[in-house]
Amino acid sequence: MKKKPLILVTNDDGVNAKGLQSLIEVVQPFGDIVVVAPSESRSAMSNAITVKIPLHLKQISSLNGLTKVACSGTPVDCVKLALNQVLERKPDLLVSGINHGSNSSISVVYSGTMGAAIEGCINRIPSIGFSLLDFNPNADFSVALKFAPQIVQNVLEKGLPEYTCLNVNFPQTKVENVKGMKICRQTKGMWKEEFEKRVDPHNREYYWLTGNFKNYEPEAEDTDEWALNHNYISVVPVNVDLTSYNAIQILKLWQYEGQNK
């Protein structure tokens, strides 16, 4: 008999987030579930790891093929500790999310949700980050609950190419409005930062980060932003080899002293 798949679940909104609970619902029919997630929200932590302070793990519950562990560290710490200390064998799948808020376009770079998925991918585990375009702590995850299982099933059956994980974003709409899924590329864009400057009661200035997303290519129909704006679910394959192979050719033309071409 084939072994039941072992699925590692994590996120960056914390072990008590509604999005995590929704993701457990999505994957529970597919196998045994171990959750190792941050004890509190660790948004925008990217691939950060904790090196200066020690980490704590706390088992919350373990029942009927579902174990939940809270971790004091970042999403990537959660994955590393799960693989090294919590799980008895390498999981068949890692899923991260469902993030409360978009991780499309350049947000993939800052996202803790995607940081965890990338860490899974580095460890050669098929890994998917899921996000919903709704920051609300009580967001409606119906679209994700309806469409995520197909993606999970595909990845469990077919795997993913080496060094590749998936960045899946769900539009903020009703299930009946979803036009389908679209395999996309990452939109070229950036966050135009604006800081709100304030003065504290002791007369010290301080800054709060805010910002607006700027899309450099709003007309490009093969991008994740376009897909989401048109009520598609966007699926972007993310590469963990960051080398710009095109640029290697350009740089080799530069004349460096003593350079080996």
Query: Which of 180, 201, 212, 219 is in the footprint of a second copy by CB under 8 A?
Result: 180
Q: Does 213 sit near a second copy (CB under 8 A)?
A: no
Query: Which of 28, 87, 110, 220 is in the footprint of a second copy by CB under 8 A?
Result: 110
Measured between alpha carbons, how far is 121 from 37 in angstroms, rounded to an integer? 17
Binding span for a second copy by CB under 8 A among 19-27, 37-45, 136-144, 169-177: 37-45
7 half-sphere exposure, CB direction, 13 A CA radius: 23
CB-based burial label for 9 (10 Å; 0-12, 13-18, 19+): buried
Measured between alpha carbons, how far is 149 from 34 in angstroms, rounded to an integer? 17
Check if the beta carbon of residue 180 is closer than 8 Å to that of residue 195.
no
Q: Does 81 sit near a second copy (CB under 8 A)?
A: yes
Q: Does 77 sit near a second copy (CB under 8 A)?
A: yes
Three-class secondary structure of residue 140 per DSSP: coil
Identity of the residue, 66 or 86, whose beta carbon is nearer to a second copy in the bound complex:
86
Q: Does 208 sit near a second copy (CB under 8 A)?
A: yes
Please list the residues that pair with 198 across neighbouring strands: 206
What is the footprint of a second copy within residues 46-75 (CB under 8 A)?
A: 46-52, 54-57, 74
Q: Does 241 sit near a second copy (CB under 8 A)?
A: yes
Q: Does 89 sit near a second copy (CB under 8 A)?
A: no
Number of other CB atoms surrounding residue 235 within 10 Å: 18
Measured between alpha carbons, how far is 133 from 103 in angstroms, rounded to an integer? 8
Q: Does 142 sit near a second copy (CB under 8 A)?
A: no
Q: Does 257 sit near a second copy (CB under 8 A)?
A: yes
What is the footprint of a second copy within residues 1-30 (CB under 8 A)?
A: none
- Asked if the peptide bond before residue 98 counts as cis, ω within 30 degrees of 0, the response is yes
Q: Which amino acid is at 201?
A: P
Binding span for a second copy by CB under 8 A among 21-29, 62-70, 89-97, 196-204: 196-204
Check if the beta carbon of residue 125 is closer than 8 Å to that of residue 164.
no
Q: Does 203 sit near a second copy (CB under 8 A)?
A: no
Measured between alpha carbons, how far is 73 from 79 in angstroms, rounded to an integer? 10
Identity of the residue, 22 or 72, whose beta carbon is nearer to a second copy in the bound complex:
72
Provide, rounded to whole angstroms, the least separation between the CB of residue 64 and a second copy.
Answer: 26
What is the footprint of a second copy within residues 144-163 (CB under 8 A)?
A: 150-151, 154, 158, 160-161, 163
How many residues in total does the chain contain? 261
Q: Does 246 sit near a second copy (CB under 8 A)?
A: yes
Tokens 């978009």 appear where?
102
Identity of the residue, 174 or 185, whose beta carbon is nearer to a second copy in the bound complex:
185
